[in-house]
Amino acid sequence: MSAKVLKSAFWGVGVALVLAGSWAWIDRWVNGEKNANYGSLVPWGLWVAAYIYFIGLSAGSFLVSSLVYVFQLKRFESIGRLALFSAVVTLILALLSISADLGHPFRAWHVLVYPNFGSPMAWMIWLYSAYFAVIMLELWFVLRYDLVVASKSAGFRGTFYRMLVFGSRDESPETLASDRQIVRILATIGVPVAIMFHGGVGALFGVISARPAWHGGLFPILFLVSALASGGALLAIVSAVFQDGLRRNRDTVLALGTLVLGLLAIDLLLQISETLVGFYGNEPARIANLKTIYGGPYWWVFWVWQLGLGTLVPLALLVLPATRKDPRVVAGACGLIAVGFLAVRLNIVIPGLADEQLAGLSEAFSSPRLTTDYVPSTIEFLFTAGLVGIGLLLFGLGEWLMPHGGEPSAGEAPAVGTEGSHVTA
């Protein structure tokens, strides 16, 4: 298949998903959450799982970008801006997902005006607001010089870039140097914020003693490691596809593959530890939770999606000598891992809730809202598919419009020459 066909297919899928999602989006605003299938026993569903998935991707991508902008690792320099861009895109998807899930999204400002800082959720919201501001600013400073250069081009592109530079015209090396300084400061602020807010997302679940499946000190750590693994994996596939990346980022993709392999191994270790301790402890609620995951109606989400396609297959591809040196295979394996983490998130949120708090609760009063059997509704699926579509379109637009910067081409040792040479798009 030619690159052109692939590209059209990419845009086609993106547009189709967004169109399907718009129907769900409209339904959500017209009918509220009537057509969502969660209820009062399983109060969080697909949209919350998608939210923690996307926000994990964002935190993970951002932390990888900090390898470049804080820790100055040359190896990843060529994908620094892409990592930041991915962090912004996935954060937007996360916020869209959770805004649909809130009963009163237009009251979200209550969290800023009446915050209860005893609540992990309030912390999370404050911290990701700060994080959003930091990464937007950082991305702008990373791109500013290239945007200024590009804003001289004629036609639509020129106009577009002129809008984005907000009046900045300065191309002097001093300003470029000060940009880099600012980026470094912002990135350094961003790292603890990202760690706190994503650890905070883990804490949001971990503090709930009413849900033994979540309750414990491991959750914040597990969330961070999962974020890094999934974010790194997303970056590997994106940097292989984005702007002719397979040629330009060959070695970086391989390096990302190794990084992800290590992170996935740690993640696996933590998950195995949780599972074994859970089984051995024989606490009824934990056992019920594990049984729901492994043998419930969604057994395949764990065995096929999370463990098979999301863990074992990519692990093999990243380890076997025959495949681990091929950037296409590595990128593909990382793609599987990135998608597999959605199953991880689903298996945290839904089975953790799908257990009666008191025996007989689901039968005491007949209502589809008072049951532990949760299957996302069509509207929920379409909405989330629409978010994926928005993500595809944003990445597509980014690949089309983001100035390439001066990354070296394939085969060359990365890093040299990145400092000064800037090519227009």
Partner 1 sequence: MAKTSRRKLLKGAAASVSTLALAATPLSRAIPVQASEAIGPAPGVLARRGRNLSAALAERGAPSGGLLPATHAISVPLPTGSGTAVAAQQAAASAESSVVRMQAELKRAMEKPIAQRKWTMVIDQRKCVGCSACTVACIAENNLPPGIAYRPVLEEEIGEYPKVTRRFTPRPCMHCDEPPCVPVCPVGATYKRPDGVVVINYDRCIGCRYCIVACPYGARSFDFGEHYTDGTPGRQPYEESPALEYGKEWSRSSVEGITRKCHFCVHRLNAGMLPACVTTCIGEATYFGDLNDPESLVTELVTSGRAVRLKEELGTKPNVYYLV
* Cα separations in angstroms, 154 against 158, 159, 223, 424: 5, 8, 46, 12
Q: Does position 16 bind partner 1 by CB under 8 A?
A: no
* H-run or E-run covering 363: helix 361-364
Q: Which is nearer to partner 1, 29 or 166 (CB)?
A: 29
Tokens of 424: 């227009």
Q: Which is nearer to partner 1, 114 or 280 (CB)?
A: 114
Q: Does position 208 bind partner 1 by CB under 8 A?
A: yes
List the x/- string, 395-414, binding to partner 1 by CB under 8 A: --------------------
Q: Does position 4 bind partner 1 by CB under 8 A?
A: no
Q: Does position 130 bind partner 1 by CB under 8 A?
A: no
* Cα separations in angstroms, 34 against 100, 353, 363: 12, 20, 21
The residue from 9, 19, 102, 276 that contacts partner 1 (CB under 8 A) is 102
Rounded to the nearest whole angstrom, what is the least distance from the CB of residue 360 to partner 1 in the complex?
A: 4
Contact predicate 383/338, CB 8 Å: no
Q: Does position 368 bind partner 1 by CB under 8 A?
A: yes
DSSP assignment string, 395-417: HHHHHHHS--TT---TTS-SSTT
How far is 386 from 20, CA to CA, in rounded Å? 6
Q: CA 326, 331, 336, 340 torsion: positive or negative? A: positive
Q: Which is nearer to partner 1, 87 or 203 (CB)?
A: 203
Q: Does position 310 bind partner 1 by CB under 8 A?
A: no
Closest to 36 measured CA to CA, from 375, 355, 363, 367 = 375
* H-run or E-run covering 382: helix 378-401
Q: Which stretch binds partner 1 (CB under 8 A): 26-34, 51-59, 220-228, 270-278?
A: 26-34
Q: Does position 26 bind partner 1 by CB under 8 A?
A: no
Q: Which is nearer to partner 1, 103 or 155 (CB)?
A: 103
Q: Which stretch binds partner 1 (CB under 8 A): 202-210, 248-256, 290-298, 313-321?
A: 202-210
Positions that interact with partner 1 (CB under 8 A): 31-34, 36, 39-41, 43-44, 101-105, 107-108, 110-111, 114-116, 118-122, 125, 204, 207-211, 353, 356-361, 363-365, 367-370
